[in-house]
Amino acid sequence: MTAVDNGRPTRRQPETLEEALVRIRAVLAELARDAATRDLLGGHPYELVQALADAGFGRLRVPADHGGFDVSLPELFELLAEAGQADSNIPQIWRGHFTTIEILRQEADDTVRSTWLRAIGAGAVFGNAQSEPAAFAASEQDPAGWGGTRTRVRADARGTRVVSGEKFYSTGARFADYIRAAVLDESGNRIFVVVSARHPKVTHVDDWDGIGQRQTGSGTTIFDDVPVEPLGDVGRYRESLRGLDSFVQIVHLANLAGIARSLVTETVDLVRARARTSLHALSPDATQDPEVLGVVGTLHARRLTADSLLRHAAERLEAAHRSGAEADYTRAYQDTSAAQVAVIEAVLDAATTAFNAGGSSTVRNGVHLDRHWRNARTLASHNPVVYKPRIVGDYLVNAITPVPGYYRDRPSTGDS
């Protein structure tokens, strides 16, 4: 993508945010044209993900002095919603990349921070490799199996630090230049290390078989003594991870908001193109059928719910970053959790209700309407929504909030 990767051909990177947005939206329009067909027939949008990178998409949150556009969180999540409307695989492919930037923005080591932010500012793309296969979940560090890590970094015979292990849900890794991998270090601490996504000892297995989000590349990644990049330790301390639990969830909220927008647009097009209505319809013209119009109105209401809660969650997290107060990060997490419940309910309802705008023709593969429910249901299961009402209720009643998941096994910079 740039001189920092493996020499792949690139286009000139945009110099201003305005230029970048024009190019980004042109790529999103191209993605939208074939998104439904890709879902039906398979195949990953490698060239278009590359085109987004060349358009400056990956630089949106990089600070200006490191080659980025330094957009606010509300601006970023709005653009991710636009991407989700075009193709809901796209925000998820880029989720690990933007998460890496958030970690780096708070990285305690200035040299590490500057090195990798400049690489991203020059066009480098990051993928994710955090979760491990279910069979590997339990370990001596996590005998209950709530997310153990067996992937390790160690020094080989030549003293080179290398990574070995296996990851699943490694979304975006097969599209990336670098991977941020969760490992246990030599002392048993859970850290992130940076490795090349294209090293010959990295194997990308295309075995993601989910009912939705089929083109995210969320399958297995195998590391076989892959060297850690110079200055490749990132996110070692808790201070680099403040607000990250909220951030990664708001990416999904943006994606769900994008799905809701697609549902409105595609259902309106379906109604306008419909040649007949049901025997019991009050009008032979679908565009004048009160029940059908009510379906479209309901979808729009669900879309507004998703959009409004996305904006609220983004603004909460932005305010927490400005204040730096732990209480504000807690409120952001609780509001994000509550938003997750309501947005998922709204979008899944919309994805089901949309079928009422047409007859049996809406369930045909060529209409592609089913993909929205499958994609939304997959996103709802990613960070399971079933736990969120209890978390919010426990906070409101008992002032208890969970310890952020990204803090697990990580010391503070103040620890001795």
Give residue-wise pLDDT tens across range 327-344: 999 999 999 999 999 999
Where residue 280 falls among pLDDT bands split at 50, 70, 90?
Answer: confident
Q: For residue 99, what are the contacts with CB-CB under 8 A and spacing of at least 6?
A: 128, 180, 244, 247, 248, 251
Domain-located, residue 414: no
43 occurs within a structural domain: yes
The closest alpha carbon to 246, from 48, 25, 405, 42, belongs to 405
What does the pLDDT average to over 182-202?
93
Residues 265 and 211 reside in one and the same domain: no
Q: Which of 235, 250, 283 is the last residue of a domain?
A: 235
Whether residue 277 contacts residue 292, with contact meaning beta carbons closer than 8 Å, is answered with yes
Across the range 127-135, mean pLDDT stands at 85
**Does 5 fall in a domain?**
no
Task: Please tell me the distance from the alpha carbon of residue 126 to that of residue 171, in angstroms, as a whole number.
Answer: 10
Say yes or no: 226 and 257 in one domain: no
Average pLDDT over residues 221-229: 98
Residue 368 maps to which CATH number?
1.20.140.10
- Looking at the fold, whether 220 and 268 belong to one and the same domain comes out as no
301 lies in a domain?
yes
Residues 305 and 226 in one domain: no
| pLDDT, mean of residues 171-198 | 94
Residue 412 lies in a domain: no
Given 204, 235, 266, the domain boundary residue is 235
State the average pLDDT over residues 346-363. 93
388 lies in a domain? yes
* pLDDT tens digits, one per residue of 109-121: 999 999 999 999 9
Q: How many domains does the chain have?
A: 3
Q: Answer yes or no: do 169 and 50 share one domain.
A: no
Phi, psi of 106 (to 5 degrees): -110, 5
Specify whether 140 is located in the same domain as 218: yes
Which pLDDT score is estimated for 149?
A: 84
- CA gap 362, 375 in Å, rounded: 17
**One domain, residues 219 and 71:** no
**CATH for 176:** 2.40.110.10
The reply to whether 270 and 401 lie within a common domain is: yes
**Residue range 207-228: average pLDDT?**
96
Average pLDDT, whole number, for the chain? Answer: 92
Last residue of a domain, one of 220, 235, 250: 235
Tokens (6 digits) for 264: 């409105």
Query: Domain of 117?
Result: 17-125
Q: Do 350 and 284 fall into the same domain?
A: yes
pLDDT at 406: 84
pLDDT of residue 411: 80
Residue 413 placed within a domain = no
Q: Are residues 166 and 24 in the same domain?
A: no
Q: Is there a contact between 340 and 383 (Cβ–Cβ < 8 Å)?
A: yes
Q: Are 198 and 247 in contact (CB under 8 A)?
A: no
HSE, CB side, 13 Å, CA atoms: give it for residue 287.
Answer: 7
Domain co-membership, 224 together with 284: no
One domain, residues 265 and 347: yes
Asked if the structure places residue 12 within a domain, the reply is no
Residue 47 structure tokens:
């060239």
